[in-house]
Each structure stands twice: as structure tokens, then as C-alpha cells.
Amino acid sequence: MTTFIIRRVFSAAITLFLITLISFIVIQLPPGDVVSNWVRQQEASTGQPLPPETIENLRRTYGFDEPIIIQYFKWIDGFPRGDFGFSIEYSNAPVADILAQRTGLTVFLGVATLFISWGLAIPFGIFAATRKNSRWDYFLSTLSFIGISTPDFLIAVIYLFIAVFVLKTDYAGGLFSQEFKDAPWTWERLLDFAKHLPVPLAILGLGGMAGTFRIMRANLLDILDQQFIEAARAKGLRERIVIYKHATRIAVNPLISRVGMQLPLLISGTIIISIVLDLPTLGPPFIRALNRQDMFLAGTVLMILAIFLLIGNLIADIVLAWSDPRIQYE
Amino acid sequence: MDTVLEVRNLKTYFYIEQGVIRAVDGVSFSLQAGKTLGIVGESGCGKSVTSRTIMRLLSPTLARIVAGSIKYYPADGAPVELTQVDPSGDQIRDIRGNEIAMIFQEPMTSLNPVYTIGQQIMEAILLHQDVSKERARARAIDVLRLVGIPLPEQRVDQYPHEFSGGMRQRAMIAMALSCNPRILIADEPTTALDVTIEAQILELIQQIQHDNNMALIMITHDLNVIGEVADHVIVMYLGQVVESAPVDDIFENPKHPYTQGLLNSLPMIGRGDRLEPIIGSVPGPHERPRGCSFAPRCPHVMDRCRAEMPPSFVLGPASDVACWLYDETIEVSHDAN
């Protein structure tokens, strides 16, 4: 088991290195760079062209005149010190400062969302599968079909509408009130955070539910057709034990491997929801950085997503190996 | 003789979207302690549905017992009418796995892959017997040893995927035997196994049957297996019993043209002549012929066969056949007794 984890961590580190390198290069592939974007903005606002020497100077100060590969190594050189570069888009603020709180909130939201969507989707899936072709099954399946085919951002707007106009909550987007937005963590801020949390959490959680529900229902139906389920019934076991101990236990395994994929998806996939709801996650700065070729910021977000993906998969593999004895560590 | 199970004119129909499927359509037999009943027939003839009806394992939303009776005679106490019990109630669950146990066709998929063999055997023991976990484990090791699994103390903690097919079927048998059932229903227990393993498994089942005076229902499409283990045989075709006779009569003097056809299509060592297959194939569930269900494939078919369904004609103390060829004899239908 230990060697399994060590080996996985080691290969994850190599994967991570390659991901950062490739994403750093890919961001710079389109013509232009962050400086030319910035210059264009300046020229548009002042109405005068900047002298070429100033632009050259800018490039030199930021080190953009060097080959990409050198820039890359200079960038990752700072990682051990917690220096992930700076963002020109955010007035030269260090990337680490911009992302620190957002990363924490993103992980928190992602994990909480996962618990909510699983906590609802799995019981509903079991309920529907054990009542296959009943009215309830049709109702839930239709609902999930609608859920899965409606784009997230639309669901977010609909839910927001329901939350504000039907349920009369005073939620107006975001995770904090204006006065707490950039304040340090205090009891008051935590309380404010807790007050803001339910609506976005419900929107994110319900959004991911449909897919999980469908997988759970289909898996369980597959398992319930297996011979060992009939064999378990033939032993004289209660139906409840047959369903939970013998069938559900196996039907959740594919969901565990799915969680590895879902963790980064919850973050990148909710960019639009985050913009709609004004959530301080990694999403909004990421999309801004990509638009402006702000490569240190974009590269760091990509790297964080990759780390989530790798950690998520690592956790999924370990849990799966523990949950399914047929999986070998070696 | 000690009758443990009596099935009379059992009819189990499936109600599905496309219509009604008469999977079991008038099956009668009785089973005695220590004896083996062989149920033989091609796939789709209703032999597996019969066994699942006895165990009440069929989903009540799909399958319904429309007629007939299944009487189980416990060692002590009043007979239980299994067609009347609640299929998810306590009464049938006390019988399942405890007094009537079942082994299945596919040893590869009959065991839950995520629990150890020991856990799965102990589950049945703990369910039906008031014993401690340690005792249940000891019993599980005992039954594994009984069915010939080497090093049962180690094997008990292994998972099904660590067992070969033959070993899994042994483990299934161990699980079925763990509570000393009075009836064992074996639904094609050797179909998925190699012939050498098949012989071992059949021998094992017979030996245990002999030791425990257990009644056995052996369901198979393989007449060789029937010849090996059965005392009495019923031959099923499209949900009906076409012939019921002691095993020797079935092999030496088969009465029903279908039984004759099955025997003629059986390869045997030393038999020089060509095999004669039964012409045609089993009709689908919705193409059931009006008269005798075997009429379209029967070499001796008469006009009457296509019009009227033959009743059971009694030919001897333990043999009857549902075929118009035997009409000279006295006609007795099972509904009468």
C-alpha cells in the first residue's frame, strides 16, 4: 500500500511538471502577449501610441524578451518560495496573493458541493432503481434528464430566481457582504459567510446531482440483475440488506472513480456559475487571465486544477482499492 | 416415504408489456427426503422459473402464480403452502437458505465479489442460527472442508476472485449447505464447469445428500447429469411436464416423442450411428401452438395433437406422459388428486 502511494505520488509529480510546462507554452502560443494586450488597452484609453522603447523596456523588465523555456524555468524557480509570478492584469499583484483565498474557498465549495450532490443523488438513485419503471422512477429520471440537458449557467439563473423571488431569500450573489469581502477572517466574517453559503451551495450541489443520480441508478440496476443478488436473496436475507450490503456497496464503486474526475470539474466547470453568482472562486480570475494572456496567473490556475485532478484521482484510487478487493495495489 | 415437497399443477405467468408469458404452465411433482428429482428440458422450458417459484424469488410485479400449490413439509409442524406466503415476509425468509437452499448455474457470478467467501457463508449461518461470530466462522471453515476446499482456514478469508470456477461452485455448495437444508435446488450447477470438475461436483453433491438425507432437485438440460444423479425425472417442454418417470424408464423406455428425441440427440461413447436432432426449434413464448405444444416438431404428430392439448396419461405407479399416443390407457389428470 505504501509503495503504491509513493509510486503514485512520484508519477503525479512528473505529470504535474509536464502539465505546467505545456500549459505555460500553450498560453503563449497565440500571437501577442500580456504586454501587447496591456499596451493596446493603454493606447485605447489615452488615444496615443506608446513609444516602442517603452514597450521594449516593459518587455525587458518583465523578462519577456527571453526564450519561453527560460521564462518557464524562472517562473517555477520561485515556487519553493511561494512565488508564483505576478499578474499584470491585477496591477502587478503577486499571483499567490490573488489566488490564496480563492483556492481555499474553491476547495471548500467543491468538497461541500460533492457531499451535497452525493448525499442526495445516491439515495435518490437507490430509490429509483429499486422501484424501476414505477411512477417515482419515471418522475426522477425525467427530472434528471432535464437537469443533465440544461446548461449549468441557466440552472444557476433559474435557481437564483427561485431563491430570490419565490423563496424570498435576500441573497444577492457572492459569498460575502461588501464590507467583509477583503477583510481578514473574524467571527463576524464567518457568520456572514455562513449566511451567504446556502444558496450557492444548493445551486452547485443540485447542478451536479443529475449526472450522479443517473449513474447510481444505472449501476444499481446492473448489479441487481447479477446472479449473486439472487443468491443473496436465496440465503433468506432481508431485501434491505440485499440492496444496501450486497448491491449498493458495489454500485458506488464507479462513483468513487468518478470523484477523481469531478474534483477539478467542480472548479473549472463552475466558472460560469461563479461569474453568474459572483463567487470568489478560481473561475473568474482564470477566465480573465486567459483572455489577456496573463500567463503567470493562468498558468498557476491551470497548475492548481491539475493538482486537484491528480489529488482527486489519487484519493479515488486509494479509496477504490480499499473498497473493491479485486483491485490490486501492485 | 417422507415427502418434503409437493408441487401440484403449478402455473407461473409473466405479465410483461408484450403480453403474458406462460413460463410454467401446469407442473406437478413430489419430492422425497434423500431422493433426487431431475428436471430436464431445453432452455426456456420453465425449469428455472419452477425453482424460483418454489423459493418465491420472482418479482411479484412481473411474475404471478396463477394456479396450483407448492406444499413444503417441515421436519416438525404443519405443512406450509408456499404459494400463499408473502414473498418478502419472515416466513419464506426463514425457509430460504435454511430449509430450502439453492445453488446457481454461474459460479463466477453467484458470489459477491467484494466480500470474502467466509463472510458470505457466515452471513447465512448468523441469519438462521443463534450462534456467535466465532462459531459461525468455525462452521464456515467446516463446510468448506466438507466440500473439499484445501486449506479452508486460509481460504475462508479469500475473495471470490481468488477462487477458480470449480472452487467457487464448491464454495457456493458450502454456503448452501451451511444451515443443513432439507431440500437443495441445484439449477444447472455444472453447466459452466469443465467435465472433470463436473463429475467431482456431482459426486460431492450426491455424497452430501446421502450423508444428510437431503432431498435434491437437479435442474439441467444435460441428460448425462440426470442419468448420473436422478431417481425420478420430469421432462419439461414449454412450461409443461411432458413425461414423468423413474430415471431407468426415461433412459430405457422413453415414452414421449420429445424424451425420445432428446435421447436420440445425445452423443454417447461407443454409439456408432449418427445423432438425430429434434427437427425445428423451441417456439417463442408468443407462438405457443394450440394443441400439444410439441406437435410442430413431433415425428408422430396426428390431427388431434394440433387441436387438443393431451392430458397426463398414467402408465405406471410412478410414470405418466402427456401424449395422445397413449390414449388407450385410463385418463387421469393431476387436478383430480
> Can you give the pLDDT at residue B51?
93
pLDDT tens-place string over residues A79-101: 888 888 888 778 778 888 888 88
- Domain annotation for chain A: domains and CATH numbers: 100-281 (1.10.3720.10)
Which residue from B97, B110, B114 is facing A236, i.e. has the nearest CB?
Answer: B97
In a domain, B250, yes or no: yes
In a domain, B309, yes or no: yes
- Which of B53, B57, B27 is CA-nearest to residue B40? B27
Using only C-alpha atoms, chain B has a radius of gyration, in whole angstroms, of 21
By CA distance, what is B176's nearest residue in A?
A235
C-alpha torsion sign, points B195, B197, B199, B201: negative
Residue A218 binned pLDDT confidence (cut-offs 50, 70, 90): very high
- Which of B299, B303, B259 is CA-nearest to residue B280? B299
Contact B114 A230 (CB under 8 A): no
In a domain, B277, yes or no: yes
- Name the H helices within B18-164: 47-55, 90-95, 117-128, 133-146, 152-155
Residue B243: domain span: 237-336
ipTM value: 0.87
Contact B124 A228 (CB under 8 A): no
**What is the spatial distance between Cα A202 and Cα A199, in angstroms, rounded to a whole number?**
5
Chain B closest-CA separation from residue A72 CA (Å):
47
Whether A3 shows a pLDDT value over 60: the answer reads yes
Q: What is the mean pLDDT of residues A296-314?
A: 84
By CA distance, what is A241's nearest residue in B?
B123
In a domain, B242, yes or no: yes
In a domain, B219, yes or no: no
Which residue from A227, A230, A250 is facing B114, i.e. has the nearest CB?
Answer: A250
By CA distance, what is B91's nearest residue in A?
A236
In a domain, B146, yes or no: no
Q: Which residues of A touch B (CB under 8 A)?
A: 226-228, 230-239, 246, 249-250, 323-326
Q: Which residues of B touch A (CB under 8 A)?
A: 52, 55, 57, 88, 93-98, 101-102, 104-106, 109-114, 116, 123-124, 127-128, 159, 161, 172, 175
Cα dist. B10→A75, B71, B141, B244, B279 in Å? Answer: 80, 11, 39, 15, 29
pLDDT tens-place string over residues A185-195: 788 888 888 88
Whether A14 shows a pLDDT value over 70: the answer reads yes
- The number of helices, as runs of H, and strands, as runs of E, in chain B is 11, 12
Torsion angles phi and psi, residue B76, rounded to 5: -135, 155
Chain B closest-CA separation from residue A112 CA (Å):
29
Contact A325 B114 (CB under 8 A): yes
Contact residues, chain A, for B104 at CB < 8 Å: 227, 230-231, 234
Mean pLDDT per 10-residue section of chain B, whose length is 337 residues: 90 88 90 94 88 92 91 90 90 92 87 93 93 94 90 94 89 90 91 83 90 93 90 93 93 92 80 76 77 89 88 88 81 48
In a domain, B265, yes or no: yes
Chain B closest-CA separation from residue A205 CA (Å):
30
Contact B123 A237 (CB under 8 A): yes
Contact residues, chain B, for A323 at CB < 8 Å: 114
Contact residues, chain B, for A226 at CB < 8 Å: 109
DSSP code string of A213-257: HHHHHHHHHHHHTSHHHHHHHHTT--HHHIIIIIIIHHHTHHHHH
Chain A closest-CA separation from residue B321 CA (Å):
32
User: What's the structural domain count of chain B?
Assistant: 1
- Name the H helices within A47-164: 52-62, 68-77, 95-130, 135-149, 152-161
Q: Count of CB contacts below 8 A, A vs B? A: 69
- Which of A169, A118, A160, A148 is CA-nearest to residue A278? A160
- Which of B6, B36, B28 is CA-nearest to residue B227? B36
In a domain, B76, yes or no: no
Contact A235 B175 (CB under 8 A): yes
Chain A closest-CA separation from residue B281 CA (Å):
27
Which residue from A231, A238, A249 is facing B93, i.e. has the nearest CB?
Answer: A238
Contact residues, chain B, for A235 at CB < 8 Å: 96-97, 123-124, 127, 175
Q: How far is CA B36 from the centre of its chain?
A: 10
pLDDT tens-place string over residues A249-267: 999 888 888 877 777 676 6
Which residue from A234, A246, A324 is facing B96, i.e. has the nearest CB?
Answer: A234
Chain A closest-CA separation from residue B275 CA (Å):
34
Contact A326 B172 (CB under 8 A): no
- Which of A95, A13, A114, A28 is CA-nearest to residue A66? A28
